[in-house]
Amino acid sequence: MVARNKEKIVTIFLVAILSALLIFLILTNFNFLKIEDLELSRDLSPIQFITIVTLLSLADSVNPCVISLLTVMIATLASMSVSRKDIIIRAIVFTLVVFVTYFSLGLLIYFGYSFFYSISVASNVFHYLKIFLVSVLLIAGFINIRDAILGKKSIFSVPEFTKGAIKKLLTYTSLLATILLAATVTLVELPCTGLFYLGLISFLHSVQQNFFSTLLILFYYNVLFILPEILIILLLVRGLEPKVIREKIYKKHRRLMRFLVGLSLIGLAAVIWFFLRVG
């Protein structure tokens, strides 16, 4: 009963804040504060630009989805008496496949966003595209904060219908199974991470990055995205037990990670609102 009341109170409080914010934006026609009012319309310096990209990628990297599956895979392989060397090799393969798959998804999102961006500008509805992005990010941010406070399973997690296939892949020790697992997880957890990617790409459009520059930025972004997985591999190399990684590191801090993701999404909404404009 107490837990249920706490859930209601937290939900009502966050919904009230979000509703008040959205109502205020609607009543002011989303024009209460313009980028020109803050004198932010000047071009970003290279340091400012790379700082925004770095913060986005680091915020995306602490997303629990990929980290969770890697720690589960490591713990499962350890329980099957797979050697530490083989576990490390599979963890490296898993991380590399996540990198390649997520980088490829970034390119697809880039081309998809470019298409809708061109249509919105040509149809003079770019402002509504911007409002849609900001609204989605705010809602997702508040949902993540709510789930973190309550300790609930997030709706932005691996879909239920894929868990059977993932569990089956976890029972195999081959490199092919590891590759399929990493690719599958990266694809199905896109709802967890895709909002950050969408925000990044809309930001890149706003500051008029050419395609080659975008490739380099996506590469840099994805290197930072897999930093937690690299850290886990280093801990394995140094002799830390897989069970400790799963229980003491991931499970202990996943609520904090979820909370940081929520705050980052709200911050990303602010960045898009003040910096996203027709390039």
Residue 3 lies in a domain: no
| Mean pLDDT for the stretch of residues 181-191 | 79
Q: Could you report the per-residue pLDDT of 188-198, keeping only the tens digit for each? A: 777 667 777 87
Q: b/e for 95-115, b at 16 or more Cβ within 10 A? A: bebbbebbbebbeebbeebee
Q: How confident is the model at residue 209 (pLDDT cuts 50, 70, 90)?
A: low
Per-range mean pLDDT, top range of 29-33, 74-78, 88-92, 274-278: 88-92
Distances (CA, A) of 25 to 33, 48, 63, 134, 278: 10, 27, 29, 11, 20
d(CA 94, CA 139): 31
Comparing CA positions, the residue from 181, 158, 188, 197 lying closest to residue 61 is: 197
Q: Which domain, by its residues, includes 174?
A: 50-275
Alpha-carbon dihedral angle through residues 209, 214, 191, 272, given to the nearest 10 degrees: -20
Residue 193 lies in a domain: yes
Q: Could you report the per-residue pLDDT of 160-178, keeping only the tens digit for each? A: 555 566 667 776 767 888 8
Residue 74 lies in a domain: yes
Residue 26 lies in a domain: no
Listed range (14-28, 101-115, 211-225) with the worst mean pLDDT? 14-28
**Identity of the amino acid at 15:** V
- CA atoms 44, 213, 56, 51: torsion sign: negative
How many domains does the chain divide into?
A: 1
Comparing CA positions, the residue from 66, 73, 68, 71 lying closest to residue 167 is: 73
Distances (CA, A) of 241 to 75, 226, 232, 248: 9, 20, 11, 10
Q: b/e for 188-223, b at 16 or more Cβ within 10 A? A: bbbebbbbbbbbbbbbbbbbebeeeebeebbeebbe
Predicted confidence at residue 104, as pLDDT, reads 92
Residue 14 lies in a domain: no
Q: How confident is the model at residue 126 (pLDDT cuts 50, 70, 90)?
A: low
The model's pTM? 0.74
Beta strands in 44-190 (DSSP E): none
Residue 34 lies in a domain: no
Distances (CA, A) of 58 to 55, 79, 221: 5, 31, 8
Residue 251 lies in a domain: yes
Residue 148 lies in a domain: yes
d(CA 237, CA 81): 17
Predicted confidence at residue 199, as pLDDT, reads 79
